[in-house]
Structures are given as structure tokens and as C-alpha cells.
Amino acid sequence: MSIGLVILALYLVLMVVIGIVAGRLQKSTAHFWVGNRGFGAPVLAVAILASIMHGGTVIGGTGAIAAQGATVLNNLSFALGFLVVLLFMAEKLRAFGGFTLPDFLGDRYESNNFRAFAALVVLVSAIVSLIAQTKSMGLVVQQMSGLSPSVSLILATAIFVFYTSIGGMLAAVWTDIAQWLFMTVGLGSLLVVLWGELGGLTGMALAAEKAAPGWTSLTGIGWTQTGFWTWHLVWFIAYFTRIEFVTKMYTAKDERTAKASVAWGLLLVLIFFSITVFYGGAARALVWDQLRTPDEAFPVLVKTYLSPLWASLALAGVAAAAMSTVSSLLLLSGAAIAHDLLRKCYYEPQGIEKTEEYYLNVSRLTLLGVGLVALVGAFFTPTLVLTIVSYAVALTGAAFAMPMLLGLVWPRTSPQAAYYSSVGGFAGSGLWAVLTESGYPWAKAVHPIFPGLVLSIIIIFALTMVTEPASPETIKRFFP
């Protein structure tokens, strides 16, 4: 038996054990969806990092950076997005004390129609992102185990669906911490070797620039001007609308803890993203000619420069990164169906009461269904991993950016304006993504988030001027 298969087996067994132990502590939907709101700042900061530093970032990010330059991952975009959450969202979302993002939008804008639409956006976006993460895990499991691509995808999907459906948010956060340790050891081992091989950060930059002139420039390689700026707009918007990030504010002990976790989480994210930039430069300088697609950059670096033991640990780190994001997305999908659509939009308006066990079972069945859809999508989606992730965040960003931000800072924002702004933003970005994937050159020049966001901004300001705001009671609740 290979060392890779042994490490993979131990890692997967650990995830299953954590899921079983956490499952015994699940007593209600509050435990399952938000960990009974009991997490401190250090734990939550690591959970934020683990859910953001996903397999798409490591595999897709390394490949995209190798292909198009260091500017692919712009730390300033991430930092500004985190700043929006820190200044305007963390405290208010925790004080609101909901379960999901549609929870906030439905209550703030007094609309179950908006709540239902937002739940569907969360579900669609989560599935798109899960396809990317499942692809990442399939690549890693195949590299570690030598199993076929099909078996690798199925095995990875079965494990993350199992431990998330059993243990809920508690299992997600506990596994986030374990996965962060795997990420740190595994990714750090490759960093040490490549640092010595290239002579540090300066040596990497010089080697990458020599291999691909323009790699170190601010505009990178092969970007159009509009494509470059809208790409960075995507990641700014993404980090204050990213559902697996902002909904973690609900899990904090209190408002102060929520804000502290964002600040510490940003520091960890910037460190890990900077390491990914280093990997991208190393791939361009050292192994570019060996790659069939950019997504192979990280696995090829690992196999070329690490011993079997350390290579297995590094790949386990990538699997950990992907699984940590997957568990959050699965929980959000389950809550969107069980809590937002069934409980809030169907049963409660009719005065029908259902037990906590009923909603937990619906949530778990949803996790299974979403996992299967993502698995099928991973088999039949040829697009690069990071591109898929960018489409997912474009959909949520265009749909939620304006209703979320203005709903927390501008009392006048009207329910009708917010709802139609969200629908317009989602439809605009979704249509543009389809046109981009269909090969239209003029569509490829601009990232799908841009037309959707512009449409969303126009609608929300125009309609707010001619429609009524929320009731005084709701405004007082959100602007005490």
C-alpha cells in the first residue's frame, strides 16, 4: 500500500470520527446550522480561513497565477472586502441572530418572496461552487491514492457529505481546525522546498518573469483592461457577500467576537493567499512545460519536488482546504431548503408547526441531494476550477451586494427595490456567464459580475426613490 493511500485513509477516518462525535451533540437546528452560537474569535478566525482557503484557491489559484501572473490574486481586493464586513456587517448580523443570509434579507425587507428567492440563489451558487471543490478533491484523491478519477470523485464526495450531514456546523468547525493543521503542515512543506529551490521570494519573481515576461507586472499576462479590473471587482464584492464567510457571524458568541474573528481571519487569509502566489510563480518558472492544463500546476509541483511522504501531506492539505469549504456550503444549502423555504415561507405562514427533528432531517436529505448534483457536475464540467468559483461568487455578489450593504447602512432602502435589485443582479450575471461559456468574445472581455452588479445598483437606487421603505418597526429593529 502506498504512503499516499495510507495518509489519505487516516485523514478521511479522522473526518468521519469528528463527524460522528459532533453528531452526538446535535440537539436542535441551532446546534446543526450555527453551532449553538458558541464559537470564540480564535476558533472562528481559523474556520473563516479554512472555509475561504478552499481547493479552488490552492489548485485553481496556483494554476491561474502561473498562467496569468501574480496579480490574479489581489490581496487588496480581499482586504477591502473583509473591511466592509468588519465595519458594516459583522456586529449587526450577529446582533440579528439569524441562521442564514436569506433570514436577514427576508426580515430586513419584510418579504418572504425575497427570502425564497435568496434561498434559491444560495442553493444555485453553493452547487456551482461545490462542483469546483469536488473537482479539486477528486484531483487530489487521485494523486494520493492512484485510484481512477471516477472513484476518487465518488470517495471524496461520500466522505464530506457524511461528516457534514451527521455533525452539522460543530463538525464543520472542528474539521476546519483539523483541516487547517493539515493545510499548514502540508502546504508549508512545499513552501520550504520551493523557497530553497528558487532562492526565496525575489528568486521566484525573477525566475517567473524570465520564463514569462510580464508575469510580475501589475497587469499580468493576457488580460484585457476591462477583464483585469472586473476580475478584481469580483473578489472585492465576493468577500463581503461570500455566504460561507458572512453567515459565520451568526456562530460567534457575541458581536465583539464576530468583529474580532473577521480581523484575525483576514490576517490568516492574506498569509495563505500570498503563499499561493509563490506557488504560482514557482510553477511558471519550474514546471510550466509539463502541464496539460493550468489546474495541474500544484499537483505537478508536489510530485516533482517532494518525497512521497511530504507530497501526500501536501495533497492532504489541499483536500482539507476543499473539504472545509464544502462543509459550509452544504450546511447553507440544507438551511436554505429546510429553514428558509419550508419553515419560513411555507409552514409558518400557514400556522403549521413542525418539530426540530423534521427540519434536521430535511436539511440532511438536502445535503445528500446537493452533494450528488455537485458530483455529477464535477464529472461533466471542463471549465477551470478558479473560473467556476468566480462564477459562483459573481452570482451571489451581484444578487446580494447592494441589498445587504444598503440594508445595513441606509434605512430608506425599500423592500421592492432590494428584491428587484437582487433578481436583476442575479439574472444579469447568470446570463453573462452563459454567454461567456458559449464563447462570445465580447462577453469574455468583462467578468459576469460587472453587468449584474451595474444592473443591481441602477434598480435599487431608482426604485428606492419611488417606493416606500420598510415599516417603522423594522427600521427601528435594524437601526436602533
Residue 350 pLDDT:
93
Mean pLDDT over 292-313 rounds to 86
The pLDDT confidence band at residue 324, using thresholds 50, 70 and 90, is low
What residue has cell string 450546511?
Answer: 331
Residue 386 pLDDT:
54
Grid cell locating 101: 443570509
Mean pLDDT over 231-259 rounds to 88
Which amino acid, 430? Answer: G
What residue has cell string 474539521?
Answer: 175
Residue 49 vs residue 195, higher pLDDT: 195
Residue 158 vs residue 457, higher pLDDT: 457
Question: Positive or negative CA dihedral for 208, 213, 217, 223?
Answer: negative
Residue 238 pLDDT:
79
Strand partners, 252: 39
Residue 36 pLDDT:
81
Mean pLDDT over 264-279 rounds to 88
151 has pLDDT over 60: yes
Percent of the chain with pLDDT over 90: 41
pLDDT in tens, 83-116: 999 999 999 999 999 989 999 999 999 999 999 9
Mean pLDDT over 277-303 rounds to 91
Percent of the chain with pLDDT over 70: 92
What's the predicted TM-score (pTM) here?
Answer: 0.81
Residue 5 pLDDT:
74
Q: At a CB cut-off of 8 Å and minimum separation 6, what does 160 contact?
A: 15, 137, 323, 326, 327, 330, 371
Grid cell locating 377: 457536475
Mean pLDDT over 305-322 rounds to 77
- The lowest-confidence range among 210-219, 255-264, 305-314 is 305-314
pLDDT in tens, 432-442: 988 988 888 88
118 has pLDDT over 90: yes
pLDDT in tens, 393-426: 788 999 999 999 999 999 999 999 999 999 999 9
Residue 178 pLDDT:
76
pLDDT in tens, 362-393: 998 998 999 888 888 887 765 555 566 677 77
Residue 467 pLDDT:
96
Mean pLDDT over 132-153 rounds to 76
Residue 338 pLDDT:
93
Query: Do 251 and 48 touch, CB atoms closer than 8 A?
Result: no
Mean pLDDT of the chain, nearest integer: 85
Residue 218 vs residue 298, higher pLDDT: 298
Mean pLDDT over 1-18 rounds to 74
